[in-house]
Structure 1
Amino acid sequence: MSFIDRVKDLADRHDDKVDQALDKLGDEVDKRTGHKHTGMIDKVVDVAQEKTGEGDTTRS
């Protein structure tokens, strides 16, 4: 199994934690950019969350 396959498998098994980390990362980037690109950052985070595991586990 290649390194990339291992990372994908790990992300699939821990999708909820990956989604939480992506949310925190997006919040930090948004803060550091002075909230000038909030909409774009949210879109990027949403796409990244959809690409990991079963999809975004943080939406209500």
Structure 2
Amino acid sequence: MGILDSLKAKFGPAKNKVSDLAQQHGDKIDQGLDKAGRLVDQKTKGKYSDKIRMGTDKAKDAVDRMSATEGESARKPRDTDGGNTPPPPPSAAS
């Protein structure tokens, strides 16, 4: 048995646990990612909005892939925006 086989054997139950948690709490995870993305976007004053949006979309897609059961595809494909356009940064005049 090679080292990769032994690692797969050890991490197999953890992968199943993560998959189960992603199935049960996928919506909450998505909401948390949205909230974190908005906070980071506000702190950077919108300078990296497109990169933040891409990162949150990729993280959500990863959660979707983890929560997909065997033989089932991920929940739904995301559009280019991901439905997650962060609010514009506060204006300097406010």
Q: TM-score range by the shorter chain?
A: 0.7 to 0.9
Give the drift of 1:24: 0.3
Count of matched residue positions in the alignment of Structure 1 and Structure 2:
57
1:14 aligns with 2:21: no
Residue deviations 1:4-28 (CA, integer Å, cap 9, x gap):
5433431232111100100000000
User: Which structure has the higher relative contact order (CA within 8 Å, separation 6+)?
Assistant: 1
Residue deviations 1:32-52 (CA, integer Å, cap 9, x gap):
111100011001001100110
* Bigger helix share: 1
Please report the RMSD computed on the Cα atoms of aligned residues, expressed in angstroms: 2.0
What TM-score comes out, normalization by structure 1 length? 0.74
What TM-score comes out, normalization by structure 2 length? 0.51
Based on CA coordinates, which of the two structures has the bigger radius of gyration? 2
Structure 1 unaligned regions, length at least 5: none
Q: 1:48 maps to what in 2?
A: 59
Provide the C-alpha distance between the structure 2 equivalents of 1:28 and 1:8, rounded to a whole number of angstroms: 27
Flag as ranges the 4+ runs of structure 1 deviating above 2 A.
4-9, 53-56
